[in-house]
Amino acid sequence: MKASHIAPFFETLKAANPRPETELEYTSAFELLVAVLLSAQATDVSVNKATRTLFLVANTPQKILDLGLEPLESYIKRIGLYHTKAKNLLATCQMLVEQHGGQVPRSREALQALPGVGRKTANVVLNTAFGEPTMAVDTHVFRVSNRTGLAPGKNVHEVEMKLLKRIPPEYLNDAHHWLILLGRYVCTARKPLCWQCAVAPFCDFKPKTEAGR
């Protein structure tokens, strides 16, 4: 993607969705952290179904700890890898209580020290909960960045660094959500809906045919 196309690319996305938000449901930084931790290799829909009931009874680190492993697993068993996620969540809650006064830390180093929290999860929390201009690269962001030519890279870290460098500062806070939504609903993995895409004029990808409409 040409440098001159980047600003209109994001301006077009902004015009269509001025205030993009995550599709995960949450009301606090801790609830967001839990939802993102649970969302690895799972859909937002399945996570939301689980957390709607979980958060009614346990929406703080201490309340999650008070539940214990088996009851926690019963709430999240519809989510893939729920055994591992439940153990990581309990360990994370223990650290939050013991080291952070039950609050979600606002530093990347402290977030990534939590069990089950990698760089992507930390970036989501920093961006969505605390308004930091970070760039979480999931499978959708990775695909869109490479396919459009916005920030091609061989791995998520390379793509993240290029995105941070190429995206104009005025779009950076919301860019993560715009790219996820674009990848989830339009720039899909197998059959991108290029003829429906508002940012197609700025994209490097040229479909071989539109016969798959």
What positions carry a catalytic annotation?
120, 138
Cβ-proximal residues to 93 (8 Å cutoff; 6+ apart), any chain? 61, 62, 64, 65
Position 80, amino acid: G
* Whole-number Å distance between alpha carbons of 54 and 29: 15
* Whole-number Å distance between alpha carbons of 130 and 128: 6
Nearest Cα neighbor of 100 from 131, 126, 61 is 61
* Whole-number Å distance between alpha carbons of 213 and 209: 9
Tell me the two tokens of residue 149.
């030519």
CA distances for 1 relative to 136, 175, 192, angstroms: 20, 16, 17
* Whole-number Å distance between alpha carbons of 15 and 208: 28
Contact 23, 183 (CB under 8 A): no
